Amino acid sequence: MRTAVRYAGAREELEAQRIACRVLVEGCEAALASIRLGRAVARGGRELRTALRAREILEEILASWRETLDALDGTGGEERATKSPAFTPL
């Protein structure tokens, strides 16, 4: 059941959106880390293609949430390196 919460104003709403977006970014980063390519590489073929595609999808989602967080923070991306760990795709 969803409960409505009253906020004091736009500033609190913006901060709540930032918090929610940061959680989504962290969740995407954790999901990327959880996709283990080692087993897929060993088996090759379809399993490898599926795992690689899953990573691509998560990378796209993560990029989108990072852009949203940058917009909420008003940084345009220049402060991203200090806010979340860098991700290097395999």
Which residue has 């104003």 as its token pair?
9
Q: Which pLDDT score, from 0 to 100, does residue 58 have?
A: 94
If one counts every other C-beta atom within 10 angstroms of the C-beta of residue 52, the result is 16
Look at residue 66 in the predicted model and tell me its pLDDT: 96
Cα–Cα distance between 63 and 54 in angstroms, integer?
14
Residues in the chain predicted with pLDDT less than 70, given as ranges, are: 1-8, 76-90
Give the DSSP letter of residue 84: S
The reported pTM is: 0.68
Element (H, E) at 30: helix 10-34
